[in-house]
Chains A and B, each alone.
Chain A
Amino acid sequence: MRYGGAEGTLALQHTSLSLARGEFVAVVGPSGCGKSTLMKLVSGLWPSTAGSVTVEGREVDGPLSSVGMAFQNPTLLPWRNILDNVMLPLEVVEPHRRRLRAERPAYEAKARHLLSLVGLSGFERKFPHQLSGGMQQRASLCRALIHDPKLLMLDEPFGALDIFTREDLWVQLQELCADLKPSVILVTHDLKEAAFLADRVLVMSARPGRIIADHTVPFPRPRRLEDTYGAEFQALQHRLRAEISAARRGDSIGGEEVAHVG
């Protein structure tokens, strides 16, 4: 993937990533390593300049409605209340779009259920600016999930939140995923977050962005926040940290332990 023509910045190179159904993959790496580019390619927001992206056995040539996305900012529409914001994808994505008018009560109940899962019951009629940043981010998670996406793409969704809210949301996201079982790609700076949530953690290096390591996270689910202070967990974080430091210095490491890099 290259930006700005043939002479432009090479954002991603030789990157290969495959994802099993229902798998939770976290992508970590220093800033500017092409994580967000990877997201935009997979979601079809941008076309790739070389290589291919396949989702559900189909080549991606444009945005996919089977994908739910949550961004670093909540990006709720300020003129809609929380319930209407969460239900926005239903107004766009088929087949919900056709059914929405006839089955509105059922869909509304679904949205309320999702909101209650993340602790936002009673805030359905509030407007985004009346909610705290963490609450807005939760609503944006619900919006990403409302149309039953098979693939959930989270682009640093908790990046702007304080650590307590973040940990809260990790637990809630884990529960949501256990319930709804989507495949998830999570882009993050936070190694603890990656290790806590993911089945696999990919480490990327910068310019050109590429995947330099692929770790399987062995810890059983459901994981508890206390587990993150265990020795094994700390060791995994430590390894990730070392790899990212190496990636930032620019020397390539551990080429042999890379599984899915082509």
Chain B
Amino acid sequence: MSAEQKGAANARRVATMLARARRRRRLQRVLPWLVVLAAFLLWEGVVRLFQVDPFILPAPSVVLGSIVQWWQPLLENAGQTLMTTLAGFALAIVFGLALGVAIGSSTLMYHGLYPLLIGFNSVPKVAVVPVLVIWFGIGTVPAIITAFLISFFPIVVNVATGIATVEPELRDVLRALGARPVDIIRKVGLPRAMPYFFASLKIAITVAFVGSILAETVAANSGIGQLMMLASSRFDVPLVFAGLLVTAAMGVAMYVVAAAIEARTTGWAMRGQQGQI
């Protein structure tokens, strides 16, 4: 075989490799939708096959019907829950970032505050809601605070880890220039902690929903959690499932937003995982 023929063969091989990579990327994009669709079909199939009572487990088609029927209260209450969750989440970001930086950059703070934080996080939040209701009354405020309490811990831990594990060499670069500790945190610690921070946001936003809906089921006048409590007290199981689905959809949507922001701002940490064959 001549060199030219070999070259052509190689070019063909590269072309097939690229085509295969393109196909895989396309599959990667549609795969989540396919999996969700398959899960729903399986669910529908099982319910029909074994003729499960809708009171025990309504089929997805029935749940969908319920969503269509009750779309207005669902939308209103979902909006309420979303606002509550985002408010608590925003508080968690502000305080979590501040405390994470403090704990991560000071060994003293770390050793002093960590046991308290662990203890605090170990308290089941369901147990805290009644106390919040006594303090703030029934309504939005306890839900916001519960969402905050539950989503704040992963942010603190991740930011603290990111800052505490800065490579000593990177720190020395700035120390050798006579940089103040504040400079080192701003120029090295914080940017270095950003991938950790965004990773924690993806966890925090999903558990924030857990917090707000938890509080709504215990004590609230509105919100998806309260709607599901009402529905279950009326034995309207399809509507309960509709509430669950809407909540899951909101969680996924917020996760996607967090992931998109992460990819934009901390692309440097993701090198080699995207844009490759």
| A interface residues with partner B (beta carbon < 8 Å) | 43-45, 62-65, 67, 69, 71, 73, 75, 77-80, 88-89, 91-93, 127, 129, 143, 147, 153
Report if B172 contacts A (CB, 8 A).
yes
B76 → A minimal CB distance (Å):
42
Q: Is the CB–CB distance between A78 and B177 below 8 Å? A: no
Q: Is the CB–CB distance between A93 and B178 below 8 Å? A: yes
A44 to B177, CA, bound (A): 10
A153 to B177, CA, bound (A): 12
Q: Is the CB–CB distance between A92 and B177 below 8 Å? A: yes
Query: Could you mark each residue 235-277 of chain B with 1 if its beta carbon is under 8 Å from any beta carbon of chain A, else 0?
Result: 0000000000000000000000000000000101101000000
Q: Is the CB–CB distance between A78 and B269 below 8 Å? A: yes
A153 to B172, CA, bound (A): 13
- In the complex, residue of chain B having the shortest beta-carbon distance to the beta carbon of A89: B177
Residues from chain B with Cβ under 8 Å of A43 in the complex: 176
Q: Is the CB–CB distance between A92 and B174 below 8 Å? A: yes
- In the complex, residue of chain B having the shortest beta-carbon distance to the beta carbon of A143: B173
Residues from chain B with Cβ under 8 Å of A65 in the complex: 177-178
Q: List 23 A-B contacts (CB under 8 A).
A: A43-B176, A44-B176, A45-B175, A63-B176, A63-B178, A65-B177, A67-B176, A67-B177, A69-B173, A69-B176, A69-B177, A71-B169, A75-B173, A77-B191, A79-B192, A79-B194, A89-B177, A91-B183, A92-B178, A127-B268, A127-B271, A129-B271, A143-B173
A147 to B172, CA, bound (A): 17
A143 to B172, CA, bound (A): 14
Known contacts A79-B268, A88-B187, A129-B268; is-contact A45 B172 (Cβ 8 Å): yes
- In the complex, residue of chain A having the shortest beta-carbon distance to the beta carbon of B169: A75
In the complex, besides A77-B188, A91-B187, A92-B174, 9 extra interface pairs with C-beta distance below 8 angstroms are A63-B175, A63-B179, A65-B177, A71-B173, A77-B191, A79-B194, A79-B268, A92-B178, A127-B271
Residues from chain B with Cβ under 8 Å of A79 in the complex: 191-192, 194, 266, 268-269
Number of interface residues of B (CB under 8 A): 21
A143 to B187, CA, bound (A): 15
* Interface residue ranges of B148-200 to A (CB < 8 Å): 167, 169-170, 172-179, 183, 187-188, 191-192, 194
A71 to B183, CA, bound (A): 20
A67 to B178, CA, bound (A): 9
A211 → B minimal CB distance (Å):
23
A184 → B minimal CB distance (Å):
15
Residues from chain A with Cβ under 8 Å of B173 in the complex: 69, 71, 75, 77, 88, 143
A147 to B179, CA, bound (A): 14
A92 to B175, CA, bound (A): 10
Main secondary structure of the interface of B (DSSP, over half): helix
A119 → B minimal CB distance (Å):
22
Residues from chain A with Cβ under 8 Å of B169 in the complex: 71, 73, 75
Complex partner residue of B178 from A64, A78, A91, CB under 8 angstroms: A64
Listed from nearest, the 5 A-B pairs whose CB atoms lie closest are A65-B178, A69-B176, A63-B178, A92-B179, A79-B268
Known contacts A79-B266, A129-B271; is-contact A45 B170 (Cβ 8 Å): no
Residues from chain A with Cβ under 8 Å of B170 in the complex: 75, 77
Known contacts A92-B183, A129-B268; is-contact A45 B176 (Cβ 8 Å): yes
Known contacts A71-B169, A91-B187, A92-B183; is-contact A78 B268 (Cβ 8 Å): yes
A89 to B175, CA, bound (A): 10
Residues from chain A with Cβ under 8 Å of B176 in the complex: 43-45, 63, 67, 69, 153
- In the complex, residue of chain A having the shortest beta-carbon distance to the beta carbon of B192: A79
A194 → B minimal CB distance (Å):
22
Q: Is the CB–CB distance between A63 and B268 below 8 Å? A: no
Residues from chain A with Cβ under 8 Å of B179 in the complex: 63, 92
B202 → A minimal CB distance (Å):
19
Residues from chain A with Cβ under 8 Å of B183 in the complex: 91-92
- In the complex, residue of chain A having the shortest beta-carbon distance to the beta carbon of B191: A79
Residues from chain B with Cβ under 8 Å of A71 in the complex: 169, 172-173
B152 → A minimal CB distance (Å):
25
Residues from chain B with Cβ under 8 Å of A153 in the complex: 176
A138 → B minimal CB distance (Å):
16
Complex partner residue of B187 from A73, A78, A92, CB under 8 angstroms: A92
B271 → A minimal CB distance (Å):
5
